[in-house]
Amino acid sequence: MRRIALLSASLAAIAFAMPAMPNEDVLRQSAKPEQLVLQTGDYANQRFTRLDQINRDNVKNLKVAWTFSTGVLRGHEGAPLVIGDIMYVHTPFPNIVYALDLNEDGKILWKYEPKQDPSVIPVMCCDTVYRGLAYADGTLYHHQADTTLVALDAKTGKVKWSVVNGDPKKGETNTATVLPVKDKIIVGISGAEFGVRGHVTAYDAKTGKRLWRAYSTGPDSEILFDPEKTMSLGKPVGKDSSLRTWNGDQWTIGGGTTWGWFSYDSETNLVYYGTGNPSTWNPVQRAGPDGKPIDQKWTMAIIARDADTGMARWAYQMTPFDEWDYDGVNEMILADINVGGKPRKVLVHFDRNGLAYTLDRVTGELLVADKYDPKVNWTSGVVMDRNSPQYGRPQVVPQFSTFQTGQDKNTKGICPAALGTKDQQPAAFSPRTNLFYVPTNHVCMDYEPFRVSYTAGQPYVGATLSMFPTPDSHGGMGNFIAWDAATGKIVWSKPEKFSVWSGALATAGGVVFYGTLEGYLKAVDEKDGTELFKFKTPSGIIGNVMTYSHKGKQYVAVLSGVGGWAGIGLAAGLTNPTEGLGAVGGYAGLRDYTALGGTLTVFALP
């Protein structure tokens, strides 16, 4: 009995010491560079491929191999998946899924077309986009606009199970992909512009049963924060870390939605993601009882949660008391790099607020925080002195504070605009160069808050915006940059006429791909950004470039179909400059370069 007890204790100790097992099928399938099973490429969100048949010497010879029309004319975000001989293509609302036979240049094997109430369309803030499917264990996971999470048999397209994650009548919708982790599917929610209270939820991958839900705002028991064990910048967050930073019960309609990307580290068993803006956009209405700014946690934050329980390990708020709609939902890229001469396990995040952050992903320690567009002016920078009570906080420039300027007053020349120096369009990391390749917006705004009342299912914005290209610059609205996350420096920058709204792809062939709002697929040299190839697709590209290999041949594919926030004027037929939360006027010139579409274009070498 003593031996058994000792053996049991030893096994328990070993199990505790071993890294948590992620979804084994996802690891197996994503290890094959010829495939793409997650929108993020891998759990680390690096968007790097080991395929190198297409390289910097021959990429100029790329030709169109075949195309496929999706039949939908709205913004096409995300990327197709490839598993074996089948490609899976998704569309914006109504969120059709196609299974295409790669042996016959995209012959349709099956089609899934959900029946959704079109009343969901008006409560989708910034176009009816969808960032795509995820695959694990023979199943496609599909999170529809109406928040129905569906598990589809990858071979037949038949529904295995479905569950409803939110209520569109309250403004809850979905635009994001999901992440299969272990036996769970991790999903978020959209709708902060309708006063939705953000949350992240884990469902059982086999049955759809809800396992845990963690809100962004509210009491500790609902945000799943431990006052003593959940850390922020090296200190416990303390009791009621969220509640004490809200005025009254505003947290119940407080925003902090989770419509961005998720990443996962099996060594720590942590899921990483960002939360969005507080509601309303009018900061005057969100002031504390003394009329002063109040942090409104945990909106605008990076949160690391245990995948099994949902409990938060650490959190860091990037933009306390947001005054500009700088949602913090952009991707968290996990990498191992040297910072300050020491090897670190880092998380790198390019925030809407124009600051790029490098944090220790195990502890949440802030290592680097710098502007990745020099024209960012709302802040003078983040306090990095650990002994300062302001440590980790951005210092607001009073001239560009929409709160200090006041309600019904127009604050002019704020950089970046609300859509940020980068929105959800994901960056890529190359272990060849240790650089991050970042699609960016180069846009500023005027911002006028006004009082707004909350009604469930109705817009709860409270601000009028105008957007325009950054003054005293190259005249364009975008840059594609290479970033050194260890030093917080731009290595090279390539100007673009419009915002770069597509996701980047780094390759072992030394080439980095991205798309432009006019519709160009471009390939540049990883070392200096020299343009090596470009091709005009049928519509503006807001999709993410992907690559795969079939029968020994490498292909590059991208969805084109202009839309998203930047292209909402074209996508929804809007013409008033202040519509689309200010984007219609800012991107009015885009209609001279592209039109609506919905096309998959696949490239290969001759």
- Active-site residue list: 325
Amino acid present at 31: A
Rounded-to-integer distance, Cα 580 and Cα 58, Å? 41
Distance CA 137, CA 237 (A): 38
d(CA 183, CA 320): 34
Structure tokens at 483: 């970033």
Q: CB-based contacts of 9: which residues, under 8 Å, 6+ apart? A: none
Q: In whole angstroms, what is the distance from residue 156 CA to residue 95 CA?
A: 17
Separation between Cα atoms, residue 81 and residue 501, nearest integer Å = 20
Here the tokens at position 219 are: 């009491």
Q: Which of 444, 432, 431, 555 is nearest to 499 (CA)?
A: 444
Round to whole Å and give the CA distance between 312 and 220: 10
Rg (C-alpha) for the chain, rounded Å, is: 23
∠ CA 91-94-100, rounded to 5°: 40
195 Cβ neighbours under 8 A, 6+ residues apart = 171, 253, 254, 255, 279, 280, 454, 456, 460
Closest CA to 377 of 342, 424, 411: 411
CB atoms within 10 A of CB 168: 24
Report the distance separating Cα 66 and Cα 60, nearest Å.
Answer: 18
Residue whose pair of structure tokens reads 């499917």 in the numeric block: 133
Phi, psi of 437, deg, nearest 5: -110, 115
Report the SS3 class of residue 258: coil
Beta bridge pairs of residue 515: 521
